[in-house]
Structures are given as structure tokens and as C-alpha cells.
Structure 1
Amino acid sequence: MKSYAFAAFAALAMAGCATGGYGPVYERATSQYDDGFSEARLDDNRYRVQYRIENGDLQLAQDWALRRAAELTLDQRYDWFQIISRNSTFRDDDFRRYEPYRSYNDRYYERPRYDSRYDDDALVVIEVIMGNNPPPRSASVYEARRVLDYTRSGRY
């Protein structure tokens, strides 16, 4: 009897691990500041795709933005997409673009900061244009089916 209870417990524990109960999940965002993907149609074959992961991995957000672009490409009956613009999150301190202190009315204060609530979020925004074969020769052109196979496989 104890062996059956242990086997049932082990199966439940492994099922919980298999569902990925922790960590980011590939999903549609419900608002601008939620985790997940969103997109905006800019033209018949041009989209802006965004992926956000709260306190997340920027590389994973990039992969999932590419995945969403590939899904959109196939949904619109195209074969490939080309990234024509890309942005990622960064912190001002990473680039040391601003002086740490600035004088205001002969007094020194710390420099003004933007809203830091989303500092640790991984946010990727790409703009893509889609087309059918043959694709242009460029390093920024991706075959949609290959991107989906790669990102769904979890090899990254």
C-alpha cells in the first residue's frame, strides 16, 4: 500500500514539474505591462511584435518575439519575415550615458530617473515585414517554419 502511495506522489510531483509551474510562459499579454506577447498591424505585411517577461531573461524574450513573428507570418500566408527594426530594454546605468549628479540652482541632486518599476523586465520590440519565396538575401531574414520548429523545441 505504501508503495502505491509513494508511486502516486512521485507521479504527481513529476507532473507538476512537467507543466512548468514556475517561470515564464509563452502567452498573449492582457495589457501593455503584462507578461507575454502583443502585436500591432502597421500595414498588410508589416507588424510590430512585443514580448515582455517580468524580471526575466532577455534572450528568452527575444526568442519568443521571433516565435510570435513567425506565427503571424504563417497566419498571414507568408513564408518568411525580415526584422527591419529591433529594440530591447536597457538600464541607463549600463551605458553611463548621464552624469551621476547635476547642478540645479547651485545645489547638487541625483539625476532625475524614469519610472523604475519595470527596470528588471525583459522587453523586446521588433518590427517585421513579411513576404513569400524567394526571400531577399539578408542576415535579418528568417524562414517562419524553421523559427517555429526551433523555438517550440526548447533547444535554446
Structure 2
Amino acid sequence: MNTRLIKPVMLAAAAALTLSACATATPYAPAGPDSRYGYSEQRIDSDRYRISFSGNSVTSRDQVDMGLLLRAAELTRDNGYDWFATVNRATDRDVRLTGMRDPFYYDRYSPFWGPSWRYYRGGYWNPWRDPFGPNFDVREIERFEASSEIVMGRGAKPANDPNAFNAREVIDNLGSRVPRSM
């Protein structure tokens, strides 16, 4: 085997692993001083909590919503209750556009000629050209945060309340679908 090829291949593999570690969904873990992403809760009353789950830019809305419901179910179970109902549940979407000028073309050509801009959205780059604007790449960064106040109860959950959940069923159904921290 050619030993001159082994080092570049190993370096490329290490770089790919490093980059893939940076691009992972928010794990199910408490948010804290090291990361603002994850779940947090605040006790309001003996049977009431305010809960939130914040995801990074590669965490889908579904994952954020599942993280919120799973945390609510775990708090309900850990406090000795059987069911919880969500009150004022909301999922917020934060979208930011980031752009960077192309340093080679920006100062060297008129605004009427230059390379096309590219716009990243939905997992792919779209060609985009504005003859009167600067030349740069634009990327849309999307993050979700779900929050809810929950009320916990004992016994059978209210039958006619669509916002009431059986805590054990939520844990059984969502527990394996939510990525955990390593």
C-alpha cells in the first residue's frame, strides 16, 4: 500500500468526523452554561411548570416539539403525577440570513458584472443574481424553540382535553425518537 496516500486519507477522515460532530441535532439534555440549546424548566406551583426546549440550526421543528413533550412527561412522572396538560404551547421559529462578500470580485468589478450569488435554503444552494447588488453568498439559518406551561394531574387524564397527555405513554412513544447526549 502506498504510504504517501495514507496520511492525506487519514487527515481527510479526521476532518470529516470533526465537521460531522459540529453538525448534529441538539441532544436531549439540560441547557446550561456550556450550551444554550436543550431543555429548561421553572417550577411555578406544586403541579405547574414552565418548560422550554431550544434547538440549534440542524434540529428540526419536530425534534424540538418532541423534546418539549418528553421533558414535560418526565417531570410529570418524576413528581408522582400521571398526566399533564399543556397551556399556551408555542413553537417559535428564528430565521437569520448570513452573508459574506466575495473579496476577490467585490472591489474589482462593477456591480453589473460578477459571479452569481448563491442562496442556501432547504438543504440546497440556489443560484441568484442581482445585477445592482454586491456579490456574496447568503445562507438562511433556522432555529426553533418550543415552550409551554404544563399542569400535572393524578389518575386518568381528562378524556375530552386534546392538550392532555398520559406521561408514561409519551415517554414510551417519544423516548427512543429523541436524540440523547453522548
Which residue, out of 20, 23, 26, partners 1:24? 26
Q: Deviations over 1:53-75 (max 9, x none)?
A: 11121111000100000000011
After TM superposition, the runs of 4+ consecutive aligned structure 1 residues lying more than 6 A away are none
Query: In the alignment, which of 16, 31, 50 is matched to residue 52 of structure 2?
Result: 50
- 1:153 to 2:176 alignment: yes
Q: For 2:27 and 2:60, locate their aligned partners in 1 and report how far apart those are by CA, in whole Å.
A: 12
* CA displacement 1:108-147 (0-9 Å, x = unmatched): xxxxxxxxxxx62210001100000122221111000000
Residue 154 of structure 2 corresponds to residue 132 of structure 1: yes
Identity %: 29
* Number of residue pairs the alignment of both structures matches: 112
Q: Which has the larger radius of gyration?
A: 2
Counterpart of 2:127 in structure 1 is: none
Residue segments in structure 2 that go unaligned for 5+ positions in a row:
1-16, 96-140
Give 1:91 shift: 5.2
**TM-score calculated relative to the size of structure 2:** 0.55
**Counterparts of 2:25 and 2:164, CA distance in 1:** 30
Q: Are the equivalent residues in 1 in contact too, given 2:55–2:64 (CA < 8 A)?
A: yes
Aligned Cα RMSD in Å?
2.7
Q: For residue 82 of structure 1, what is the amino acid of its counterpart?
A: A
Tell me which protein shows more strand as a share of its residues. Answer: 2
* Corresponding residue SS for 1:136: coil
Q: Give unmatched runs, 5+ long, in structure 1.
A: 1-16, 93-118
Q: Specify which of 68, 79, 94 is matched with residue 65 of structure 1.
A: 68
Q: Return the offset for 1:84.
A: 1.3
Q: Any idea what the Cα deviations from partners look like across 1:22-66, whole Å, max 9, x if unmatched?
A: 3321111005x7110000001110001100111121111000100
